[in-house]
Amino acid sequence: MDYRVMGNTDLNASVLGLGTSRLTSISTGLSRHKAIELVAVAADHGINFIDTADIYGQGDSEAVIGQAIKGVRGRFIVATKVGYRFSEKTGLLVKAMPLLKRALRPFKGARRLAANMRNNAHHANIITQDFSPSYLVAAIDSSLRRLATDYIDILYLHDVPADFETSESLFNALSTIQRSGKVRYFGISAEHDDALTSVCSNPLLLLVQTDLHPSRGRTTFASIEQAGKAIVVNKVFSGGHEDAISAFAQRHGVTIRQALLGYALKQPFVASVLTGTTNRNHLIENVSSVKAAKLLPFEELAS
């Protein structure tokens, strides 16, 4: 496994990170024991960077990670996200979710049900966004408790709106939280270029997490990199490169997975690439893909 320093931080992260958005989802059918085991397999293959969020699995993803890294916390870079919250009317549902997961996992329709719940959550106001200082302080304390740690390496503001940087009270609160030692570094996860480039002039935000879709402007990535911020890429398998990557993979005798991961890591501005999986074999395949793609001529794909 290769490692890269993440921008202007002292974090030396594996170039392949473990995404955990589906680690404890109803749709995975993965037991808690198997979920913990997956984190151990990642560590055995050199992955020291784990990404989660307080909303993943209604907080259960953080709890599983906390169990998985117990006693070896210092070996890992743990990133989580805050900014989403469940509305008050869903409080009982959230509390009952662990029981619902165990009850629904055996049924074939569980994955479809989980997908429908995720897709409709925002429209039904089941999940809302809240970046108020009071909520963030409480959310961070809850994340620390679930992760069974006294500090978070990276805290992202989750899917921030384009105008988030105008909130003086927000950044005053973040500064206070950082001085307390609860969070080492802050960043944002976002999909819009306006939000992404706003980190360039903000000394408190040192990392961004976003996708590598071809529609994303290279000038956006260049300006973020020049400002000394780390770029963590997600959703490398979500589409957008199909034709060019497929042809490239065929020419060089590699899989599309190998080509996608290799292409992402070949970009000079990328600190780490997140791959979310609940399958041990897929995880090992991802690690092998990174190794196999190192010497491929990705300059052929430059646009």
In a 10 Å sphere around its CB, with 0-12 CB exposed, 13-18 middle and 19+ buried, how is residue 91 labelled?
exposed
Residues 163-189 have a mean pLDDT of: 91
What is the signed CA dihedral for 132, 135, 138, 141, rounded to 10 degrees? -60
The pLDDT of residue 95: 56
Q: Does the residue 302 lie in any domain?
A: no
The pLDDT of residue 188: 94
Q: What angle do CA 252, 258, 260 make, to 5 degrees?
A: 100
Residues 43-47 have a mean pLDDT of: 95
With 60 as the cut, is the pLDDT of residue 103 above it? no
Q: Does the residue 303 lie in any domain?
A: no
Could you give the CA distance from residue 155 to residue 50 in angstroms, rounded to a whole number? 12
Residue 246 is encoded by which pair of tokens?
């497929």
What CA–CA distances, in Å, run from 233 to 108, 109, 147, 181, 252?
Answer: 32, 31, 23, 26, 24
Among candidates 24, 13, 12, which has minimal Cα distance to 278?
24
Among candidates 173, 174, 197, 195, which has minimal Cα distance to 186?
174
Q: What is the DSSP letter of 109?
A: T
pLDDT confidence bin for 11, thresholds 50/70/90: very high
With 90 as the cut, is the pLDDT of residue 73 above it? yes
The structural domain count of the chain equals: 1
Residue 174 is encoded by which pair of tokens?
């973040």
Asked if 38 contacts 283 with a C-beta cutoff of 8 angstroms, the reply is: yes
Instruction: Give the range of the structural domain holding residue 224, as residue numbers without chain letter.
Output: 3-296
Asked if 80 contacts 143 with a C-beta cutoff of 8 angstroms, the reply is: yes
Q: What phi and psi values does residue 81 have, to the nearest 5 degrees?
A: -135, 150
Give per-residue pLDDT as tens, 188-223. Answer: 998 888 888 888 989 999 999 998 876 666 788 889
What CATH number should be reported for the domain holding residue 237?
3.20.20.100
What CA–CA distances, in Å, run from 217 to 144, 236, 244?
Answer: 35, 16, 18
Residue 78 is encoded by which pair of tokens?
């743990």
What CA–CA distances, in Å, run from 116 to 59, 126, 178, 258?
Answer: 19, 13, 37, 30
Q: Does the residue 301 lie in any domain?
A: no
The pLDDT of residue 187: 95
Among positive and negative, which fits the CA dihedral 85, 17, 146, 117? positive
Q: Does the residue 23 lie in any domain?
A: yes
Neighbours of 252 (CB within 10 A): 17
Asked if 154 contacts 187 with a C-beta cutoff of 8 angstroms, the reply is: yes
pTM beyond 0.75, yes or no: yes
With 60 as the cut, is the pLDDT of residue 124 above it? no
With 90 as the cut, is the pLDDT of residue 92 above it? no
pLDDT confidence bin for 278, thresholds 50/70/90: confident
Residues 154-180 have a mean pLDDT of: 89
Q: What phi and psi values does residue 113 have, to the nearest 5 degrees?
A: -60, -45
pLDDT confidence bin for 47, thresholds 50/70/90: very high
